[in-house]
Amino acid sequence: MQQEIRNIAIIAHVDHGKTTLVDAMLRQSGVFRENQEITERVMDSNDLEKERGITILSKNLSIHHSGLKINIVDTPGHADFGGEVERVLTMVDSVLLLVDAFDGPMPQTRFVLKKSLDLGLRPIVVINKIDRPGARPDDVVDMVFDLFCELNANEEQLDFPIVYSSAKLGFARFEIDSDNQDLEPLFDTIRDHVPAPTGDPQADFQLLVTSIDYDDYIGRIATGKIFNGRVKAGEQITMIKRDGSVIRGRISKLLGYQGLKQVELETAAAGDIVSIAGFEEIGIGETFAGGENPTALPCINIDEPTLSMNFIVSNSPFAGREGKYVTSRNIRDRLFRELRTNVSLRVEETDNTDTFKVSGRGELHLSILIENMRREGYEFSVSKPEVIFREENGQRVEPLENLTIDVPEEFQGTVIEKLGPRKAEMVAMENLDGVNRLEFVIPARGLIGFRTEFLTDTRGTGVMNHTFHSYGPYRGPIPGRKNGVLIAMEACETVAYGLFGLQDRGILFVGPGVSVYEGMIIGQHAKENDLVVNAGKGKKLTNVRASGSDEAVRLTPPRILSLEQALEFIDDDELVEVTPKSIRLRKKILNANERKKSEKRRNESS
């Protein structure tokens, strides 16, 4: 039975077609009925994943094909969710490396591939989207080989099998010009090149927990791969925690995968990926074991976070109007609950009981957490993201990122000019059909606030991707935001007449009829200084009508900032107020006189 199991993970850069390929494999293995209506990217089950078209959480499924059981793990492509990738790679015996036939290997391909090569896994390379206009599969194979060499792959890993595919059209081929119209070549390659699990079914039971879920009926569920032995539903087993402490318990439910569905199992053996319920407090990286002398498996090592921000209990005049959970206890409980499943997150309590320091792998990692919390009814404020510095050999070092930019030639000069002050260093440049690909190594600090500016400069035509490179020497100060902000003078409802008078002063973030409070940011000032303005100013009425003074007020539509744009925009003395219904920008100190006093004290002390 064990010989007929294959455990693989699908890894790729974001948007290269991982989840679409899984859809095609499910369709051809008969998991779906002929007439069954299915959604696209069926593995992206989370609301945020569907909206953004990206994979955030790794997920498991199992396919039965010609007597072979293939356990597949779909992994995120964003480096911000690298913690998800690192833990699931311990469950598999090989990886499908999916590469776009036009783009070639991208920064996050490098990131995930390095993790799998370091674990000694031998990848299968799938060149996807060969039907795409401008596809260059032969060049991409050469680029993939160069990348393997760069990442110090061993000889066995360099001798990788290659499959050409179009996940969208549902075919795979050994030769590009073949006329095969199904995925049989891919299934054959998995059968022949993925090793069967190596565990011993006769040894004592051992399972490493790699993900945790919760069910209202059966409680906490731990998922992982059985490394050795066998296990039965209802059996008494031991959980060995990270600190070495031991908890005995009984398996209340043993679950496996059949297609996308979880099904109850009576028994499972080495090589199977299963879920176990019956234990209340479970942590990722802990071991379930059986036998008289239970022994723990090595823990999973997860890269450290590179970015942090403060989550603060909202003290805005509008606090509690839109949110259900607003107290420090609510926010603390939610953040510490997130730590159970989000392995690359760190939460620290600070001197102030209303402030929690949350550290993650990047802006996207933290903004997904914020977005999930606001959808659950939480209301709080967050500060500007800050990078985490380290001391190495007495020297201050900071996280550096690999930045890859695809931009039309006409905007290339502007982009390079903007990256100069941000301490970016160009390492490569090539032309791809009229689009220039520029590669830089840039401090993580230099990327904060860059994306919005970049999209404006390239008129939305540029594409940027970045992934963690390494820690390097501190590169000196980076200039912050050049423009000041327009700040509401008092609590009021905005009036079209008042906003019309402010249009010439900068870009507005609010339209008419919006409730604002003193200290709330309502726009970006055209100059460097902050400006306190009256957005509720109405027109004085008189008994006299003049022909020229009653013209219609024409307002430019306001710029509505998304959560990511708001986090990029704010400065050190500002916060983003997040509620289930609104995203507002505000000053930390709301009162104008208090802000002046605080600034004066700061200048005197410096």
Rounded CA separation 274/271 (Å): 9
Query: Where in the chain do CATH 2.40.50.250 domains reside?
Result: 485-540+555-567+586-605
Angle between helices 450-457 and 409-419 (to 10 degrees): 150
Give dist(CA 301, CA 343) in Å, integer. 10
**CA distance linking residue 391 with residue 388, whole number of Å:** 10
Does residue 18 have a known ligand-binding role? Answer: yes
Is residue 223 a known part of a binding site?
no
| CATH 3.40.50.300 placement within the chain | 2-193
- β-pair partners for 396: 391
Say which CATH topology domain 485-540+555-567+586-605 has.
OB fold (Dihydrolipoamide Acetyltransferase, E2P) (2.40.50)
Q: DSSP states of 177-208 as a string?
A: T----SSHHHHHHHHHHSPPP---TTS--EEE
Q: Over the stretch 383-405, which tens digit does the pLDDT of each residue have?
A: 998 888 888 888 889 988 888 88
The yes/no answer on whether domain 206-289 falls in CATH 2.40.30.10 is: yes
Would the annotation count 59 as a binding residue?
no
16 annotated to a ligand binding site: yes
Q: What is the pLDDT of residue 84?
A: 59
From-to residues of CATH 3.30.70.240 in the chain: 390-473
Q: Which fold has domain 2-193?
A: Rossmann fold (3.40.50)
CATH architecture of 390-473: 2-Layer Sandwich (3.30)
Q: 405 a known binding residue?
A: no
Q: Annotated binding residue at 130?
A: yes
- What confidence tens digit (pLDDT) does each residue in 174-200 have? 888 888 888 888 888 888 888 888 877
Q: Is 597 annotated as a binding residue?
A: no
Alpha-helix runs per DSSP H in 66-222: 82-88, 107-118, 137-150, 155-158, 184-193
Start-end of CATH 2.40.30.10 domains in the chain? 206-289
Q: Which of 465, 472, 368, 473 minimizes the C-alpha distance to 110?
A: 465
Query: Which residues in the chain come in under a pLDDT of 70?
Result: 1-3, 14-16, 30-59, 76-87, 107-108, 260, 301-303, 433, 542-552, 606
How high is the pLDDT of residue 108?
A: 66
Residue 93 labeled ligand binder: no
pTM, whole model, 2 decimals? 0.74
